[in-house]
Amino acid sequence: MIKKMNKVNKLQILAWTLSIIVCVIAFAAWLPSLHGKFVGVSTYRLFPLFGLLAFSLMWSHYAVSGIRTYLKIPSESLGSYFELSSLAVLAVLLLHPGLLAWQLWRDGLGLPPGSYLKNYVAPSLGWVAILGIVSWFVFLTYELRRKFRVRTWWKYVQYASDAAMVAIFYHGLRLGAQLQSGWLRGVWFFYGVTFLVSICIIYGSKFTDRSIIEKV
């Protein structure tokens, strides 16, 4: 029992540490875009930070879930971590597109998706912007898990959320200014690979558990 508790405590520390590290990485990658100007930062320069933070924190959720599943630790043991960090994810999810939409509207360029497609992204990348918008709605739908996760159909929302992570990975890679070159691009690919590993562990465990139940 003591050994199990130590394992849980270590995982809780790892979860918070990992989340803090990815946030620091996001800030470190974003700061050079300010060119040393820390006062009066424009909304156009500010909003990408929240996109980096959103994906990074969601990645840490998947990474921690993969580790937890591999170690066979109950999900309830990380309840406080997921609840608190999920609030942070929701905040940055709202701020990332919200700030851009507000600034475009303030500049007289209309509301999304038209303001994005006509005035912010190249025509050839319009579908990538739409991909981001659709994924954003999926992530917001996932926030309803507290009320609906016991429903039998909720698993499809989870599948959609997992697919949205893949879409946002690509969305950031194509549209993120900090991801077009430099060290963060390599980190982003690391996030992508480890996300897939975590997904394989999580779904592999579910498949194994279901097979055992069916045999019994």
Q: Please write the tens of the pLDDT for every residue from 185-206.
A: 999 999 999 999 999 999 999 8
CA distance 58 to 63: 9
At residue 209, the pLDDT reads 63
Q: Is-contact 60 18, C-beta < 8 A?
A: yes
Domain tally, the chain: 1
Percent of the chain with pLDDT over 70: 94
Distance between CA 8 and CA 2 in Å, rounded? Answer: 10
Query: How confident is the prediction for the chain on average, in pLDDT?
Result: 90
Give the C-alpha separation, 165 to 66, whole Å. Answer: 15
pLDDT of residue 5: 61
Range of the domain at 142: 2-215
> What was the pLDDT predicted at 119?
87
| pLDDT surpassing 80 at residue 159 | yes
Q: How confident is the model at residue 146 (pLDDT cuts 50, 70, 90)?
A: confident
